[in-house]
Amino acid sequence: MRRWVIALGVLVILLVGADFGAAAFAEHTISQKARTQLGLSDDPSVNIHGFPFLTQAISGDYRHITVSAEGVPVGTELRDLRVGAELEDVTAPLSDLTSGNTKAVKIGKLTGAVTIKASDIARVSPLDKIQNLRIDQSTEAYVKYGDTEEGKQPDPTPTDAAGEPTDGTTAGLRISGDVQVAGQKVEIFCFAIIELKGKTISIVPHRLQFGNDQSTTTVPDAVQKALLPNFRAEIDTSTLPLSVTPTAVRVDSGSVTIKGEATGLSFADLSITNTPKG
């Protein structure tokens, strides 16, 4: 009996090892294909969730796959995007995965997030005129009303259908950097609202101030009128990786993240078409 127990234990270990080995092979295959489609220098991270893997592989149905990548380039302005995708209800025949053919891979639902760093936003016209551009969070109330009682009020928290907190289609944004005023380089702070409208993200500046939200110095109206257009910009999200419909935008220190969802996609929809050459 003891020998049978030991043999059974060894068999279980071998089966578990085979399961993890098969999962690792499938993850590596998907990672290599995603690397080619996204124009990356390194393989992205791929994680096939759920155990055992082999039962999913045999049926060709996967409940949840996560793909994430750093340093994704798009065009000449956005060169260092962070991309994350949660793929649900994925259909991928085992024969296609083992042969490296991902064209037939179908995705039931994709939830994606693309993070644009301040260094990339600084290349978007006309923000490219601002030196040492930095990005930070701000409440929408402070953007609109400044250092007043109204400006000190917290923003309402958006919720989803289940009542859980979520990101909204607008967010407060503080852009800071150096600009030329009367021939002098001056550090200035612009308080803006970032808005998601269809496939476009708009940065709409509301007011400028010298100093920061802890110490306010009023910018003369004439200077405001002259400089505010330098902080108004748009980013076309249709050029970004992942074929999702943008649903939310979030501002973090040093970056802006766009979130979205899509259904009924193929693996090829993870690709981009305007990766810079060379």
pLDDT tens digits for range 192-235? 999 998 888 999 999 988 765 555 677 778 888 888 898 999 99
| Predicted local confidence at residue 215, as pLDDT | 58
Classify residue 278: in a domain, yes or no: no
pLDDT tens digits for range 120-158? 999 999 999 899 999 999 999 999 988 888 888 888 877
Classify residue 94: in a domain, yes or no: yes
| Predicted local confidence at residue 273, as pLDDT | 44
Percent of the chain with pLDDT over 90: 24
Same domain, 110 and 139: no
**Mean pLDDT along residues 63-89:** 87
Same domain, 182 and 54: no
Classify residue 200: in a domain, yes or no: yes
Same domain, 95 and 219: no
Enclosing domain of residue 21: 2-117+260-269
Classify residue 274: in a domain, yes or no: no
* Count of domains forming the chain: 2
Amino acid letter for position 178:
D
Same domain, 107 and 218: no
| Predicted local confidence at residue 272, as pLDDT | 52
Same domain, 191 and 240: yes
pTM attached to this predicted model: 0.81
Same domain, 100 and 190: no
Same domain, 51 and 122: no
